[in-house]
Amino acid sequence: MKIKENYSLERHNTFRLPVETRWFIEYDNEEELLRILHDEYFRESASVHIGSGSNLLFLNDYNGMILHSSIKGIDLTEETRDTVRLRIGAAERWDDVVAYAVSKGWYGIENLSGIPGETGAAAVQNIGAYGVELKDVVETVEAYHQHSSQKHTFTKEACRYAYRHSRFKEDDGSLYIVTHICIRLSKIPHLVLHYGNLKEIIISQYATLPHLSDVRNVILSVRKDKLPDPEQFGNAGSFFMNPLISAEHVEALKVQYPQMPFFRTEEGDVKIPAGWLIEQCGFKGKSFDRVGVYDKQALVLINLGGATGQDIALVAERIRTAVAERFRIELIPEVKYIG
């Protein structure tokens, strides 16, 4: 176990904000986690559990305990003729899991290539990209309840997965600490290429039937073209979720904005790309002192150098207000504010 006092979180949040936490505690296994959960001081302190900080906005220094898991491992726990089941430690970098699965020829998560962050947080957030969400492959999620210290194994249904949502983001659910997830992947070739112009890009680059690793490579390069590297500009990927609006609302908007892109969800709502709404309001490529709106994807806010969490939150608020006034749509941050 690693315990640090007055510790800088600069390398633990991809906005690269140089905030400090009173305590930083990193545990290596479930026994150590249980020791922390039973600790009197921990029980009385404010605490937040983080992954690699790729979806966090620290507004201030944190006067409590930041917990971080070091539980790793990708174990093959079952293999059938057609599928494999993997049990993965929460601290495993998500993209390492994808790279491993692709190298083994296992299908299901290749579209989730290049997403920053760790596996536990990926399962809490239900990460999604290019037509695939983590929920599509999850079988179970193992987690400890912070108050009772009991371990629970949740089935996919019990995780209440939805777009960028799970029970672990709900009020009670956020008291769970995820230690492992189990996913099932397919050994039978099956590619998901319906998103945007993914299929055309792949076909233009690979004349023959695309291989699993071709899909990964194309997605990595599309992401590289659209999304900034946090080593260059601190950022947390999409700052807002894509809003879901009613069918009536979209009909009304289409009259005024016939070119507005939208996608129907399985539940009958309509999803509008927040990037488009933000671009229409004139923010794309603009900078506000030390905070920028990325010029290739308006959904991404970037730290131009020396920004604080408050600076970023203020720009986000400005964007929310402009979009609400113009489109009567409320943008909800995907990024979690802390402090």
Applying CB under 6 A, the residues found at the interface with ligand EPU are: 129-130, 195-196, 226-227, 237-238, 241-242, 261, 273, 275-276, 279, 284, 297-299, 334
In the complex, what is the shortest distance from the CB of residue 210 to ligand EPU, in angstroms, rounded to a whole number? 18
Q: Is 87 annotated in the active site?
A: no
Q: How far is the CB of 290 from ligand EPU (least distance, A)?
A: 21
Closer CB to ligand EPU, 37 or 315, in the complex: 315
Helix ranges, the chain (H)? 30-38, 40-44, 94-104, 119-125, 198-205, 212-226, 247-256, 274-280, 309-327
Q: Which two tokens stand for residue 11?
A: 């390398």
Rounded distance between C-alpha atoms, residue 86 and residue 79, angstroms? 9
Considering 22, 93, 164, 326, which one is annotated as catalytic? 164
State in angstroms the smallest separation of the CB of 275 from ligand EPU.
2
Number of helices (H), then strands (E), in the chain: 9, 20
Cβ nearer to ligand EPU, comparing 230 with 309: 230
- DSSP secondary structure letters along 285-301: T-EETTEEE-TT-TTEE
30 is catalytic: no
The amino acid occupying position 55 is: N
Closest separation between CB of residue 99 and ligand EPU, Å? Answer: 17
Q: Is 204 a catalytic residue?
A: no
Shortest Cβ 48–ligand EPU spacing (Å):
20
The nearer residue to ligand EPU, 159 or 277, going by C-beta atoms, is 277
Residue whose CB is less far from ligand EPU, 110 or 142: 110
Helix axes 198-205, 212-226, angle to 10 degrees: 120
SS3 154: strand
When the beta carbons of 42 and 257 are compared against ligand EPU, the nearer one is 257
Neighbours of 194 (CB within 10 A): 9
Q: For residues 131 and 192, give the distance between their C-alpha atoms in angstroms, rounded to a whole number.
A: 7
Residues annotated as catalytic are 164, 238, 334
